Chain A
Amino acid sequence: MAIKQSEVEKIAELARIRISDDQVGEVTQRITEILSMVDQLQEADTTGIEPMANPLGATQRLRADEVTEVDNREAFQSIAPVVEDGLYLVPKVIE
């Protein structure tokens, strides 16, 4: 199934990846190829088949409500790109 360049641009925006103008064409082509391959899925008859959540059909274990973590801010923020007063800084978010 052919995918339009405008759709690729929309998807890139959803994924927050900048694709330069000179690359968009090639990326569109590659993705079209992959999606064409993937379209083979439509051949399968999946009536009444439950989608698989987990290959072992297991269910979620519940954890007791206990505080098990301590303040490790220093270690975590020592590897952060931009921090100030214990906060992670990003370009201003306008609400």
Chain B
Amino acid sequence: MQWETVIGLEVHLQLATQSKIFSGSATTFGAAANTQASAVDLAMPGMLPVLNEKAVRYAVLFGLGIGAEIGKRSVFDRKNYFYPDSPKGYQISQFSDPIVGTGNFNVQMEDGSTRNIGITRAHLEEDAGKSLHEDFHGQSGIDLNRAGTPLLEIVTEPDIRCAEEAVAYLKELHSLVTYLRISDGNMAEGSMRCDVNISLRPMGSDTLGTRAEIKNVNSFRFVEKAIRYEFNRQSDILNDGGTVVQETRLYDSDRDETRSMRSKEVANDYRYFPEPDLLPVVIDDSYIEILRKQLPELPRQKRQRFVSEYQLSAYDAAVLCSSREMADYYESVAMTCGDPKMAANWVQVELLGRLNRAELAIEASPVSPEALSGLIKRILDNSISGKIGKVVFEGIWQGEGSADDIIEARGLKQVSDSGELEAMVDAIISANTAQVEQYLAADDTKRKKLLGFFVGQIMKASKGQANPQMVNKILAQKLE
């Protein structure tokens, strides 16, 4: 039996606001336990929520970014359940009238093909606190710093058909939210968490099978692995004639398997009803239009433009557009040095490589776009070779100054004066008469190899500064 995988993803995205969604507590990561938990966050008696405008703004920006309907009248609801990390005994969320309605995600796969993933809705809600289970002699410790952080829950249609698509979607989502600057989308730090809903059905069928929900997967890699594991687990069950149990599971990365969450067996009746302490959120057209004008060029638009304007490959465009900062950096270099392809090469290979080794983001690059552009220009005008360029690059990285400063200070300027070069060539020819004789006696193929020997000698003697193209030409002439 051929099984088709049907996947829907629910991503919980922490919004990058200064204060929480319903209280004025700070949202900064890493504070000491319960030092960012106000009376509202602690659900003290008589406390009431007040809605953070920026959370609304960020949600609307997201909706506009995916071309979705914006819920002009959205409502908050209470989702009732008891758990120590949810101090009110209910979570304020949105159930029937979310702030963002249906939209679309166009996802580019690695091979360049695209998939259209439908977004069912996105809604605002508050995050829960954290439970720590070690070190408390049989008890759990509750930290409510995180309780009340604004979340945007983004739900896809079950349009995803394989692990690669899921990862491509998540990467695209990460790109979009970082471009919009509404979240840092950092899965490892928990600011972007993914629940995977996965079911199988016979290929060609259009009814949905029973799904399992894998909660809180926190990296692209683990999402991929969890999906693969689940496919195998579910297909094994179905192939044996069994039925898949609808349940919540956790992905265990140490063992690369998913496990049932026994404690959530009892079905929860959330008893959703409109939150009476908050009023309906009404957004007018002018608010939406102001935000629409604030939208930056979105990742997909920028990638397409880089391909057409700079003649880059889809792959290169994707790398250079992985963040707005990267894209802005690249464009600045490309436009000032005048050679987009060379700029692409230097940014992707030399700069990115060096940044990754130093574990720095491009925003913290010691090499500014101006400096890199200056370096590339010196290669383009033959002042230095590409090889020397790498030396100069390292010098700029170390803070020695601009490309010109370093070339000057270290005397790295390429020798391109024909007189000087001729003198060098003459010197090498006279010092290597045996090889000259070999060369003159050799055929074309052998000559090419031997020429390399002479070039090498000249490069050595000139400490790499002889212009290699010119050297080649002069040698060939003189060895006639």
| A–B proximity contact (CB within 8 A) | yes
Give the interface of A toward B (CB within 8 A): 14, 16, 53-54, 58-69, 71-73, 76-77, 82, 84-95
Q: How far is the CB of A46 from chain B (nearest CB, A)?
A: 17
| A74–B26 alpha-carbon span in the complex (Å) | 17
- Whether the Cβ atoms of A66 and B139 lie closer than 8 Å is no
Closest residue on chain B to residue A64 by CB atoms: B53
| A63–B32 alpha-carbon span in the complex (Å) | 26
- Whether the Cβ atoms of A90 and B140 lie closer than 8 Å is yes
Q: Is B461 an interface residue (CB 8 A)?
A: no
Q: How far is the CB of A4 from chain B (nearest CB, A)?
A: 16
| A84–B132 alpha-carbon span in the complex (Å) | 12
- Whether the Cβ atoms of A53 and B25 lie closer than 8 Å is no
- Whether the Cβ atoms of B139 and A91 lie closer than 8 Å is yes
- Whether the Cβ atoms of A93 and B33 lie closer than 8 Å is no
Q: How far is the CB of A73 from chain B (nearest CB, A)?
A: 5
- Whether the Cβ atoms of B19 and A16 lie closer than 8 Å is no
CB 8 Å contact bits of B273-297 with A (1 = contact, 0 = none)? 0101011111000000000000000
Closest residue on chain A to residue B24 by CB atoms: A68
| A61–B56 alpha-carbon span in the complex (Å) | 11
Known contacts: A76-B42, A89-B139. The answer to whether A66 contacts B18 by CB under 8 A is yes
- Whether the Cβ atoms of B278 and A60 lie closer than 8 Å is yes
- Whether the Cβ atoms of B24 and A69 lie closer than 8 Å is yes
Which residues from chain B contact A67 at a C-beta distance below 8 Å? 18-19, 24-26
Q: How far is the CB of B471 from chain A (nearest CB, A)?
A: 63
- Whether the Cβ atoms of A69 and B280 lie closer than 8 Å is no
Most chain B beta-carbon contacts within 10 A, residue among A85, A91, A94: A85
| A61–B52 alpha-carbon span in the complex (Å) | 9
Closest residue on chain B to residue A63 by CB atoms: B50
Which residues from chain A contact B32 at a C-beta distance below 8 Å? 86
Closest residue on chain A to residue B19 by CB atoms: A67
Q: How far is the CB of A50 from chain B (nearest CB, A)?
A: 11
- Whether the Cβ atoms of B33 and A86 lie closer than 8 Å is yes
CB<8 Å pairs between A and B, sample of 6: A14-B80, A62-B52, A71-B35, A87-B142, A92-B139, A94-B263
| A88–B139 alpha-carbon span in the complex (Å) | 10
Which residues from chain B contact A86 at a C-beta distance below 8 Å? 32-35, 143
- Which single member of B42, B55, B82 contacts A16 (CB below 8 Å)? B82
A-B contacts, CB under 8 A, total? 124
Which residues from chain A contact B278 at a C-beta distance below 8 Å? 60
Which residues from chain A contact B276 at a C-beta distance below 8 Å? 53-54
Q: Is B408 an interface residue (CB 8 A)?
A: no
Closest residue on chain A to residue B132 by CB atoms: A87
Q: Is B219 an interface residue (CB 8 A)?
A: no
Q: How far is the CB of B176 from chain A (nearest CB, A)?
A: 21
- Whether the Cβ atoms of B280 and A60 lie closer than 8 Å is yes
- Whether the Cβ atoms of A65 and B52 lie closer than 8 Å is yes
Which residues from chain B contact A69 at a C-beta distance below 8 Å? 19, 23-26, 36, 38
Which residues from chain A contact B242 at a C-beta distance below 8 Å? none
Q: How far is the CB of A78 from chain B (nearest CB, A)?
A: 12
- Whether the Cβ atoms of B140 and A92 lie closer than 8 Å is yes
Which residues from chain B contact A68 at a C-beta distance below 8 Å? 19, 24
Q: How far is the CB of A42 from chain B (nearest CB, A)?
A: 19
Known contacts: A58-B279, A59-B282. The answer to whether A71 contacts B36 by CB under 8 A is yes
Q: Is B131 an interface residue (CB 8 A)?
A: yes
Q: How far is the CB of B160 from chain A (nearest CB, A)?
A: 27
Query: Which B108-157 residues sit within 8 Å CB-CB of chain A?
Result: 131-133, 136, 138-144
Known contacts: A66-B24, A76-B39, A88-B84. The answer to whether A93 contacts B140 by CB under 8 A is yes
* A-B contacts besides A53-B274, A87-B141, 20 pairs, CB < 8 Å: A14-B269, A53-B279, A59-B279, A62-B53, A62-B56, A63-B53, A65-B54, A68-B24, A69-B19, A69-B24, A73-B35, A82-B139, A86-B35, A87-B132, A90-B84, A91-B140, A92-B139, A93-B83, A93-B133, A93-B140
The 7 closest A-B pairs by CB, nearest first: A87-B141, A68-B24, A65-B54, A62-B53, A86-B33, A69-B38, A60-B279
- Whether the Cβ atoms of B51 and A60 lie closer than 8 Å is yes
Query: Which B291-318 residues sit within 8 Å CB-CB of chain A?
Result: none
- Whether the Cβ atoms of B281 and A60 lie closer than 8 Å is yes
Q: How far is the CB of A68 from chain B (nearest CB, A)?
A: 3
Which residues from chain B contact A16 at a C-beta distance below 8 Å? 82
Q: Is B17 an interface residue (CB 8 A)?
A: yes
- Whether the Cβ atoms of B279 and A93 lie closer than 8 Å is no
- Whether the Cβ atoms of B282 and A88 lie closer than 8 Å is no
- Which single member of B141, B261, B274 contacts A84 (CB below 8 Å)? B141
Q: How far is the CB of B391 from chain A (nearest CB, A)?
A: 48
| A60–B71 alpha-carbon span in the complex (Å) | 14
Q: Is B250 an interface residue (CB 8 A)?
A: yes
| A84–B34 alpha-carbon span in the complex (Å) | 11
| A89–B137 alpha-carbon span in the complex (Å) | 10
| A59–B75 alpha-carbon span in the complex (Å) | 10
| A72–B37 alpha-carbon span in the complex (Å) | 8
Known contacts: A16-B82, A76-B37. The answer to whether A84 contacts B136 by CB under 8 A is yes
Q: How far is the CB of B77 from chain A (nearest CB, A)?
A: 11
Q: How far is the CB of A33 from chain B (nearest CB, A)?
A: 22
| A74–B143 alpha-carbon span in the complex (Å) | 14
Q: Is B387 an interface residue (CB 8 A)?
A: no
Closest residue on chain A to residue B287 by CB atoms: A62
Q: Is B473 an interface residue (CB 8 A)?
A: no
